Amino acid sequence: MLLGLPGYAFASGVEAFWLAGGLLLGTWLNWLILARRLRVYSQTSGNALTLPEFFTNRFRDSSKMLQVVSAFFILLFFLFYTSSGLVAGGKLFETVFGLDYTWAVIIGTLCVISYTLFGGFLAVSWTDLVQGLLMAAAMVIVPVIALQSGNSDASIFDQLRAHNEELLNPFTNSTGEALGWMAIVSLVTWGLGYFGQPHILARFAGIRSEQDVPTARRIAVTWSAISMLGAIMVGLIGLLYINEMSLSLGDGETIFMVLVNALFHPVVAGILLAAILAAIMSTADSQLLVSSSALAEDFYKAVIRKDADQKEVLMVGRLAVVVIALVALALAMSPDSSVLGLVSYAWAGFGAAFGPALLMSLYWKRMNRNGALAGIIVGGVTVVLWKQVSGGIFDLYEIVPGMLSAFIAITVVSLMSSEPEAEIVEEFDNVEKALA
């Protein structure tokens, strides 16, 4: 929101609205289709708070295979997702303090680890509220002040047209080449990823009451719309500012920081730049908590030490936070790393691995444990393999083939194997009655 999306708008112009529009639609659909149903079903399924736990309880998987496989993909893709936050932290400290990138990433990682180790789910929820408000304020204030400080009386779109008319064409890239259906579909289908993000879905399961879902949906969609519009405007205005000042910007993802440093008093700039750190922490702590829970609850307690008490599991979880953060740190060490590039891979992985499995488990009574297992594996593996190939159809964003293959695998395997047990069917019917 503060680095990747402004950087994309800075490089591509209004083409970024395809991406933002897809994300906004995905936010709304996620709250509309999944939130209330997942809240009710997770409570029915043993008060499950994590995706692996929900799948295991939903399908009565005594073998724990669903739990272990789900935890594996959570750890795999969160390593890339968390590393994107560490890259963002590195770029922040590098740009603001002039630190060497390596030391900047290390300092950012230490901030995130120390922050995450204090408190738990409730603490993260409250701090995320404050950090989200700070992010939204920054996304409104920066483009508004930047527009008012410009030297031209012409509108931003007239100025963009004078600079490069192709930046205002949503069907071409910045060089005038047609985007084509594949590029547009790849941008819009980012929204599908919301259905499988464990750190977002955990909030649905943990919401105070199902009656609060409509209010929460309105808040979430409004916040997303304001923030995404602000992010795109930062990128577009930043492009004009860099051109007007005849400056060279090596990394477009730092445009928010460049504008803030140029337009505001150092005290105000410090507060606005803290919004980036807020964004990093509010995302990274959620990711690290879900990852550590997957390692502690879904690997350690489910497979290695089934008799482990809560204190032991808590210690393993805290150790997992440090270990996962250090591995993500190693992935983030390259100065050429792109925040949006790392996020796109993890986003597709989660969307394909868990989105179809979760949607069908909440809406299809005939789905069984084997179908869920097949969908998670096929969806996750398809994303990994698709990412390794380029050219032709393989330029399509990997979330599309990943989710399609997962839906097919769930349907085929469920129909080819035995029907769910009567107890599972009865639970599904009870949830349907509760939702009616």
CA 433 to chain centre: 32
356 lies in a domain?
no
Which CATH number does the domain housing residue 17 bear? 1.20.1730.10
Query: What was the pLDDT predicted at 151?
Result: 64
327 lies in a domain?
yes
CA 378 to chain centre: 21
Q: How sure is the predictor about 419, in pLDDT bands with cuts at 50, 70 and 90?
A: very high
Identify which of 290, 328, 291, 296 has the alpha carbon closest to the alpha carbon of residue 315. Answer: 296
Burial label, 306 (beta-carbon count in 10 A; 0-12, 13-18, 19+):
exposed
Q: Which residues of 170-201 are buried (b: 16+ CB within 10 A; e: fewer)?
A: bebbeeeeebeeebbebbbbbbbbbbbbbbbb
Other Cβ atoms closer than 10 A to 400: 22
- Tell me the whole-structure pTM to 2 decimals: 0.87
- Number of structural domains (the chain) is 1
Q: What is the mean pLDDT of the chain?
A: 86
Residue with tokens 């792109």: 338
State which amino acid sits at residue 300.
Answer: Y
267 lies in a domain?
yes
374-393 pLDDT, tens digit each = 999 999 999 999 999 988 89
Query: What was the pLDDT predicted at 121?
Result: 66
Q: Is the pLDDT of residue 190 over 80?
A: yes
384 lies in a domain?
no
434 lies in a domain?
no
Q: Is the pLDDT of residue 150 over 70?
A: no
392 lies in a domain?
no
365 lies in a domain?
no
429 lies in a domain?
no
Q: Specify the higher pLDDT residue, 349 or 123.
A: 349
Report the range of poorest mean pLDDT among 33-37, 50-54, 212-216. 50-54
What percent of the chain is predicted at pLDDT more than 70? 96
Range of the domain at 227: 4-335
